[in-house]
């Protein structure tokens, strides 16, 4: 195993192969591992993942696997925003993180460079030089640039691409006994209303998992389409007033354990 310290909370390196590697990381203060190695690569390297997982549990190190195909710039470009999101969430939980792939030459340093570029207001050139100056690697710089443009285009067009990374609880506070549904961009393009659950008194909730993006929505209350006056609103191109939510990196989300962001009346 070969790894380098990038910041006080971020390390980058090659794959973990033995329990001794896990112990070394534990002694260095690492509390989480973000691994982009595929199962096929692990088999080719004769790595016993179950043994590695048990070692991580022994040393109380969280390990998250999110495979990215090796030497596949398109797959890296597509998955990079989610990878950076995972790293961001681990860091927000005060973990000291080792970001790793098989060789530590490409996928793992790309994630760290993209994180520094997107989340710390560092230019791509400066972030690239900073990481490559500390860790011997050959990051796919064009993949970072293309992923950056993808994110910009997504925000500008309001597209909702990518995996559902955020759990959102929509709340309607009305009157007891009402029939309440949620409808919006995320409900089959407004054609598949979602029934709200009555939580007691005037409170009704609908839980939805969404990719990051901008969404319009409304409530259908006793057959009448209404918007919440207590939540943000915006007029659409037809002049209709809708509630609006922007799902992004401000939501508090744990990897694989989705926390709730709440909006309501």
**Separation CA 248–CA 186 (nearest Å):** 15
pLDDT of 166 reads 76
| 3-state SS, residue 118 | helix
DSSP track, 139-207 = --HHHHHHHHHHHHHHHHHT---S---EEEEEEEE--TT--EEEEETTTTTTTS-EEPEEEETTEEEEE
Q: Which of 15, 83, 101, 181 is catalytic?
A: 101
pLDDT of 211 reads 81
Question: Is 3-157's fold the same as 166-264's?
Answer: no
**Which CATH number describes the domain made up of 3-157?**
3.90.190.10
pLDDT of 256 reads 32
Q: What is the DSSP letter of 60?
A: T
- The domains of the chain are located at 3-157, 166-264
% of residues, the chain, pLDDT over 90:
73
Q: How many CB atoms lie within 10 A of CB 253?
A: 20
**Separation CA 13–CA 93 (nearest Å):** 21
**Separation CA 77–CA 226 (nearest Å):** 40
DSSP track, 200-225 = ETTEEEEEEEE-SEEEEEEEEETTEE
**Which CATH number describes the domain made up of 166-264?**
2.60.40.10
pLDDT of 153 reads 76
**Separation CA 77–CA 256 (nearest Å):** 21
Structure tokens at 61: 């190190």
**Separation CA 80–CA 141 (nearest Å):** 12
pLDDT band at 174 (very low <50, low <70, confident <90, very high): confident
* pLDDT tens readout for residues 77-89: 999 999 999 999 9
Exposure string for 199-229, b = 16+ CB within 10 A, e = fewer? eeeebbbbebebbbbbbbbbbbbeeeebbbe
Q: How many CB atoms lie within 10 A of CB 149?
A: 11
The yes-or-no answer on residue 137 being catalytic is no
* pLDDT tens readout for residues 204-256: 999 998 887 789 999 999 999 999 988 899 998 899 999 999 886 433 323 33
Backbone dihedral angles phi then psi of residue 115, each to the nearest 5 degrees: -60, -50
């Amino acid at each position: 195993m070969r790894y380098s310290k990038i910041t006080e909370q971020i390390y980058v390196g090659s794959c973990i192969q033995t329990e001794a590697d896990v112990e070394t990381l534990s002694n260095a203060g690492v509390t989480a591992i973000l691994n982009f190695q595929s199962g096929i690569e692990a088999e080719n390297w004769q790595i016993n993942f179950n043994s590695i997982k048990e070692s991580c549990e022994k040393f109380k190190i969280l390990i998250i696997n999110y495979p990215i195909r090796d030497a596949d710039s398109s797959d890296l470009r597509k998955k990079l925003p989610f990878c950076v999101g995972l790293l961001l969430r681990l860091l927000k939980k005060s973990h000291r993180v080792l970001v790793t792939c098989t060789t530590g030459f490409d996928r793992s340093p790309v994630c760290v460079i993209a994180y520094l570029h997107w989340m710390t207001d560092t230019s791509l050139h400066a972030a690239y030089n900073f990481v490559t100056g500390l860790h011997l690697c050959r990051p796919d710089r064009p993949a970072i640039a293309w992923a950056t443009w993808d994110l910009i285009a997504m925000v500008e067009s309001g597209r909702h691409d990518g995996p559902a990374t955020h759990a959102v609880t929509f709340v309607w506070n009305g009157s007891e006994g009402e029939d309440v549904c949620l409808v919006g961009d995320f409900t089959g393009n407004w054609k598949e209303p979602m029934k709200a659950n009555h939580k007691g008194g005037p409170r009704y909730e609908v839980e939805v998992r969404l990719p990051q993006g901008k969404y319009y929505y409304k409530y259908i209350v006793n057959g009448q389409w209404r918007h919440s006056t207590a939540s943000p609103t915006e007029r659409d191109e037809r002049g209709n007033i809708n509630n609006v939510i922007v799902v992004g990196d401000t939501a508090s989300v744990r990897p694989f354990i989705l926390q709730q962001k709440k909006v309501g009346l």
